[in-house]
């Protein structure tokens, strides 16, 4: 296949829209993580205020829940990096262009 300007424009558009989507996905994961930590800590403080003798148990539960919740942004980051570096949309677009050309 030669250097077709329309094909180059198509691939550039796919990469730019993928970068925009990855940015939105990562922003959503960051906001979700921050809100999750805020809610976990708020409920932890409420639990301590209601029953101070439960502090050790509540602390362990807070850190376990926080650790599980903190894994979400890392999973989202892995998916975002897959879209960034191994963009599946470019391969699909090239296959569609080759099918139309033949």
Residue 5 has pLDDT above 80, yes or no: yes
pTM (two decimals): 0.76
Identify whether the C-beta of residue 61 lies closer than 8 Å to the C-beta of residue 43: no
Please identify which residue in the block is written with the tokens 């796919």: 14
Average pLDDT, integer, range 20-27: 95
Domain annotation for the chain: domains and CATH numbers: 28-86 (1.20.20.10)
pLDDT band at 41; cut points 50, 70, 90: very high
**Is the pLDDT confidence value at 1 over 60?**
no
Greatest Cα pair distance, the chain, in angstroms, is 75
Cα(11)–Cα(83) distance, rounded to whole angstroms?
A: 14
Window from 7-11, 27-31, 54-58, 75-79 with minimum mean pLDDT: 7-11
* Residue 2 pLDDT level (bands cut at 50, 70, 90): low
Rounded (10°) angle between helices 5-50 and 88-101: 150
């Amino acid at each position: 296949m030669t250097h077709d300007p329309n094909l180059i424009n198509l691939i550039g558009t796919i990469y730019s829209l993928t970068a925009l989507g990855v940015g939105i996905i990562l922003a959503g994961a960051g906001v979700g993580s921050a809100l999750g930590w805020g809610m976990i800590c708020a409920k932890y403080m409420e639990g301590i205020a209601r029953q101070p003798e439960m502090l050790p148990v509540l602390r362990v539960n807070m850190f376990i829940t926080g650790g599980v919740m903190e894994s979400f942004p890392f999973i989202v980051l892995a998916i975002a990096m897959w879209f960034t570096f191994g963009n599946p949309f470019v391969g699909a677009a090239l296959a569609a262009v080759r099918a139309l050309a033949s």
